[in-house]
Structure 1
């Protein structure tokens, strides 16, 4: 039996190649995802080592110590640093802190940046010097490599920072460095280091957040940590050894990397499901073609178990080979994903590709590859053993008979799935919050997709007749034969098109949702930014100067100026506007009441916040800021929409609640009708302020669209792998079908069909199968997209349902082209087979 299995594998090597490629692609995606996750963890661990190296003891404020402690102290005081340095066993200690300080670029505009103090103890420096040296004087600075590149700074040149008093401070750049992983490096913000004295001079009131220390020779980390804890009195501070602090941070980093890996694995599962369908279809066809061979084996003494084990042995071998190929391909997938992820963001990073290959990844590759292949072959193998030897010696009928025989069971199962899926969709669409709505509705759409897959063999006939009408009218006899071939074995055709249908469904669904979100975002921008230009601050915590609004209002080309401010209160955030801007430059959707009644001492609340505090039009609500100021305000309107915060106040009310906020968050500018050169006139005024940045609705929409297009392209690339696997399935099915129909093709040639007509017949058959899967997938994808956009809509934001006809048409055209390519090799083989040799086939 073993020799028979080996001989069979040798004889059918070519037939199994395409199936092996399909499963190898699925394994490659899984392997690449796991390698990517390990690479991210490894990179983060290595980079974090920069901030953790040399640290034997870490001291931070203990947030769980009680409100009293955290209110009295909001950072590490000089006295605490002195106590740590004096503790027994401490060889050196330094404070670590961060101060936001805008960096003024060569264009004269400020951009967000963060400054840190340079540790006096060399072992505690968390940076790697790249060029030059570290600062040693109060007028010197060093910046990280990325900041030097993006801000176009050179060693020896000036570096200008915008101080807390909005006065420019100038330093000399003496060096560049590479920093490790942290909140600043992960955010992509600019970073620089100063001497401790120069750092403290930027903001004398801001205290460091941590003290790190090095142990003296002869002391362990735990001994020094205990001594430091005693020196501090043990209250209000959390003292950890360097190993404990490192383990805690790495745990957080690993969980973040695991979330992204899980996201990618979801797409890998889709690819594997599609690959499993290709494998299942391949074995079904192979066993149908080997019916007489298997029957003969049964006649000469092979038992059902031996036949079953023989087929599974072939699956194991194929799965093993595919796993080897997938493991190697996974390394390439991981490298590609690392490059793609590194290219995201406004300034693409220089990615160092890492390819860690762990035992877990190798076992997963072989486990997944072999297991999926074997499970996909189980049903065809069992079916082969159930055919009696005498019956199997007869010709294998098409599956149309079986479909009609099992139609009632299929319909019943499909109805159950459809009811469950529809119920989940209804529940999801009624959910109040967005996250449950998305997950429940999404799960319902997948169940409905399963129902369509179950009904696949019953749908093949009607769909094939509709889609085949055009080619039959254009190409005549070859197209009629192709249509008949595509419909005569419904189970096989349904299994072949199902894989493509799954991929196209998900691609179409994501495309519809993304384009709907894009259109909604554009509409929101148009609603939120009715002004021609909006001037905002380039640094979020620095308001625009009040005199800037007056200067803009004095510009001849400007018709109206409307500044806005903000007020942070307990558990809420309010936007402040001038009353004369309401309904013109500021026009949120009013649910009840009237914005015309908004005066000093009143407030318009957002609908969900009003519900939370139990307020309504005519009632009053108490607004209390975090610094203790409070005022009772009368509610004059209930609003909905985005960018409102939790309510809207007048600028006068905001000034009373937050008198320390001296400036504006933004300034809306409306030009006079028909003026030209308006932007230049506005820029002339804003150029006087390093904080002022001009934005327009068109620029905001372009930025939003670019971000959404990047995400959509990434998802297309991930799902595209499943589509590629499905197209391999079509090519594989067609190839095996050509081998199965060798004698039939020869007979058609003998009856007068030319080589060109035979090739055309196979191409049309391939196109029909591809269009069948793509068309059903597009219909389902658009429908599921409507479900998700409706489920994600709320009172605040109602997603517009947009069907991107151009993109959908491109997908359908791509399916046709791919089908033609998939049919090229099988058509060439069929056309080259001689009539005499084909007629001699058994």
Structure 2
């Protein structure tokens, strides 16, 4: 029997290799994901290890001492440096400051002090050296490119009063993982004494200590706890800091891996369907062979084992190729990530035993499980079947099992129930629950596939039949001849298209809703904002804008956080503007009470914040501490407001008397002023401020749309593999069908069908299957997308359902083109077979 299995594998090598491509792609995706995760984790560990290398003890604030707001004081650093067993100690702090560009505008940058102890420096030089004077700096390579300067030239940073501070660049370094912790902003390193001139609020968040030779980390940590006290400071050894950092890195990479593996699972499900269909066809083609094996003494178990052995060989081969293909996938992903992040990414391809085991487990297991039912079917072949002179390997069983229909109905009822339940939940739960319900409904449609194939095929076959005549009618007949096979072939594509169209519909609905929200909440023509998050716009800028002849009115807006006098973890994040602009340029929707005539000491609360705080109109919201403590009267509950509530600027000044700047200034032009003339007039004022940027509603919507499109493109790319596997499944089915129908094709040729017509027949058959899967998938995707949108929508945040008809049409056209390409090789093979040799095929 072993010789028979080996001979069978050799005889069908080409078919098995062709069929294994689906599993190869699935294994490559899984392997690539795991290698990418391990590579990113290793890279982050290498980079973040720099923050703790040379550090024997780390001191950070607990927030309970008097230093909580001001940071670690210099006096504490001096005490630590004077402690026995300390070789060196330095403070770490970060300052967000505007970096002046050649255009005269500023971009956010992060400035940090250089450690005086060389062993405690967390940056590796790339070129040049570290600064040795207060007028020198070393910058990351991205800052060099952004400011368009080079080593030896000067780079300018602005202080809080927009004063210019020039630094000579003496070295460069690569940020690496630090770019993640710094929010991706450009980074400059200066001497500690160069920090105070930039701001009076340099807050040291950590002190790092190097132990003297012979002093252990544990001993030094114990000694420093006595020096600084354990109440205000958290004292950790360098080993503890490293362990904590690695846990955080592992958590981040695990989340990303889980996300990617979800898409890998979808690809594997599609691949499994392709393999199942492949073995179903192969078993059907080998019916006579398997029956003859039974006649010469093979048992049912041996026949079953022979089919499963072929599946195992296919899975093993696909796993090997997929494993190495996954390394290429991971390398490509890392290069793309590096290009997007503008970082010098080092491609890492760690191949762990876990990844290797996962590749072989997934490849072999998926293939063997997918082949189980066809192999089981092979054991049911009666020996007498071998006596038949001609076996119709694709004979159709007309009836559809009652069990299948009953099971599909159960799935449908369960899915509908879950969707209905999800509709009544909050947004996050609604997304998860409704999404689960739609997947059950998708499973119902897949189960009913053989029932749907006939009617859908007849409808789709009308137009090709009218256009192309006999070849198209034959193609439609072939597609509908075996509904189970056609359903299994198209189901894989249907699943991929359903998910792609669902995500596209949800994303389009989100974009349309966001655009409408921008128009509703920002009726101004322009919004002037600060390019640096930590800096506010000066008050005189608002005065100057109000005096511009083309400007009708302005609304200066400030946002600030106020602590709660009773809850250390409480407080509120309030928005403020002038009273006359509330209800005009700043107009959240009031669901209770009124925002018109809002006075000092009153607040309009965000509906969600009010619900959490248990407040209604007429309630009191206590905020502030000590001299700034105030009781605000709730006069309205509103929707569509960023932050916890809306107050007047006078109320803001009561909480923060020293803060006179604005986060943004909304500008409304006079009637008759064109947008071009209005913008030019506004720019004359804002050009004098390096941090002032002008945004319009159109620009804001474009930014939002770009962000959504980037996420959508990412998901499309991940789902794209499943669609490719599905299209390959169509090509594979056609290839096997061509081999199966060799005599039939020869007979058609003998009856007058030309080579071109035979090829056209196969192309149309491929297109019909692709359009069938894509059309059903698009209908399901649009419908499921509508359910998700409705489930996530609420009275306070309604989401408008929108269908991207242009993208839907492109998807359908892409399916047609891909199907034509998939049919090229099978059609070519069918046309090359001579009539005589085809008729002689057994």
Cα offset for 1:613? 2.8
Alignment correspondent of 2:637: 638
Mark the CA change 1:142 to 1:693 in structure 2 (over 3 Å): closer, same or farther: same
SS at match of 1:373: helix
SS at match of 1:101: strand
Does residue 278 of structure 1 match 2:278?
no
Cα offset for 1:476? 1.4
2:819, 2:351 → 1: CA distance?
Answer: 36
1:204, 1:648 → 2: CA distance?
Answer: 30
CA contact (8 A) 1:49 1:180 kept: no
2:194, 2:714 → 1: CA distance?
Answer: 44
How do residues 428-827 of structure 1 correspond to structure 2 at under 5 angstroms? 428-432=422-426, 434-569=427-562, 570=564, 571-617=571-617, 619-625=618-624, 629-643=628-642, 645-676=643-674, 677-827=677-827
Alignment correspondent of 1:415: 409
Deviation by residue 1:330-361 (Cα, 9 ceiling, x = unmatched):
1111112122323435xx33433221111111
Mark the CA change 1:554 to 1:205 in structure 2 (over 3 Å): closer, same or farther: closer
CA contact (8 A) 2:290 2:381 kept: no
TM-score by length of 2: 0.95
Cα offset for 1:642? 4.3
2:176, 2:777 → 1: CA distance?
Answer: 46
Cα offset for 1:422? 1.2
2:423, 2:322 → 1: CA distance?
Answer: 40
Does residue 384 of structure 1 match 2:365?
no
Alignment correspondent of 1:239: 235
SS at match of 1:213: strand
CA contact (8 A) 1:398 1:488 kept: no
CA contact (8 A) 2:624 2:630 kept: no
Does residue 81 of structure 1 match 2:77?
yes
Cα offset for 1:729? 0.5
Alignment correspondent of 1:31: 31
Cα offset for 1:626? 5.5
Mark the CA change 1:168 to 1:626 in structure 2 (over 3 Å): closer, same or farther: farther
Instruction: Identify unmatched segments of 5+ residues in structure 1.
Output: none
Deviation by residue 1:403-461 (Cα, 9 ceiling, x = unmatched):
5151x2111101111111111111222112x2211111111111111111110111111
2:594, 2:184 → 1: CA distance?
Answer: 43
CA contact (8 A) 1:184 1:191 kept: no
1:165, 1:331 → 2: CA distance?
Answer: 52
1:392, 1:611 → 2: CA distance?
Answer: 76
CA contact (8 A) 1:142 1:192 kept: yes
Tell me the number of residue pairs that the alignment of Structure 1 and Structure 2 aligns: 832
1:156, 1:186 → 2: CA distance?
Answer: 25
Cα offset for 1:160? 2.4
Alignment correspondent of 1:155: 151
CA contact (8 A) 1:98 1:208 kept: yes
Deviation by residue 1:716-774 (Cα, 9 ceiling, x = unmatched):
11101101000110011111111111111111111121111111111111111111100
How do residues 51-90 of structure 1 correspond to structure 2 at under 5 angstroms? 51-62=51-62, 67=64, 69=65, 74-90=70-86
SS at match of 1:120: coil
CA contact (8 A) 2:580 2:597 kept: no
CA contact (8 A) 2:623 2:630 kept: yes
Cα offset for 1:75? 2.6
SS at match of 1:598: coil
SS at match of 2:195: helix
Deviation by residue 1:532-578 (Cα, 9 ceiling, x = unmatched):
11111122232211111111111111111111122422332121122
Cα offset for 1:396? 5.3
CA contact (8 A) 2:545 2:682 kept: yes
CA contact (8 A) 1:403 1:491 kept: no
1:102, 1:245 → 2: CA distance?
Answer: 31
1:84, 1:296 → 2: CA distance?
Answer: 88
SS at match of 1:678: helix
Mark the CA change 1:393 to 1:516 in structure 2 (over 3 Å): closer, same or farther: farther
Deviation by residue 1:96-147 (Cα, 9 ceiling, x = unmatched):
1122222222222232222211111111111112223222222222222211
CA contact (8 A) 1:602 1:635 kept: yes
SS at match of 1:586: coil
Which stretch has the larger CA shift, 191-200 or 550-559? 191-200
How do residues 291-302 of structure 1 correspond to structure 2 at under 5 angstroms? 291-302=287-298
Of 194, 206, 209, the match for 2:205: 209
CA contact (8 A) 2:137 2:171 kept: yes
Mark the CA change 1:627 to 1:417 in structure 2 (over 3 Å): closer, same or farther: farther
SS at match of 1:430: coil
Which stretch has the larger CA shift, 536-545 or 464-473? 536-545
CA contact (8 A) 1:18 1:728 kept: no
CA contact (8 A) 1:597 1:636 kept: no
SS at match of 2:423: helix
Which stretch has the larger CA shift, 149-158 or 376-385? 149-158
1:387, 1:178 → 2: CA distance?
Answer: 67
CA contact (8 A) 1:338 1:353 kept: yes
Which stretch has the larger CA shift, 764-773 or 522-531? 522-531
Does residue 176 of structure 1 match 2:172?
yes
SS at match of 1:419: helix
Alignment correspondent of 1:138: 134
Of 114, 118, 124, the match for 2:114: 118
2:602, 2:87 → 1: CA distance?
Answer: 60
CA contact (8 A) 1:640 1:795 kept: no
Mark the CA change 1:233 to 1:647 in structure 2 (over 3 Å): closer, same or farther: closer
1:615, 1:474 → 2: CA distance?
Answer: 69
Alignment correspondent of 1:367: 361
TM-score by length of 1: 0.95
Mark the CA change 1:344 to 1:70 in structure 2 (over 3 Å): closer, same or farther: farther
For the aligned residue pairs, the C-alpha RMSD in angstroms reads: 2.0
Mark the CA change 1:405 to 1:48 in structure 2 (over 3 Å): closer, same or farther: closer
2:664, 2:228 → 1: CA distance?
Answer: 45
Does residue 102 of structure 1 match 2:98?
yes
1:403, 1:90 → 2: CA distance?
Answer: 86
Cα offset for 1:487? 0.7
SS at match of 1:111: strand
Cα offset for 1:74? 4.8
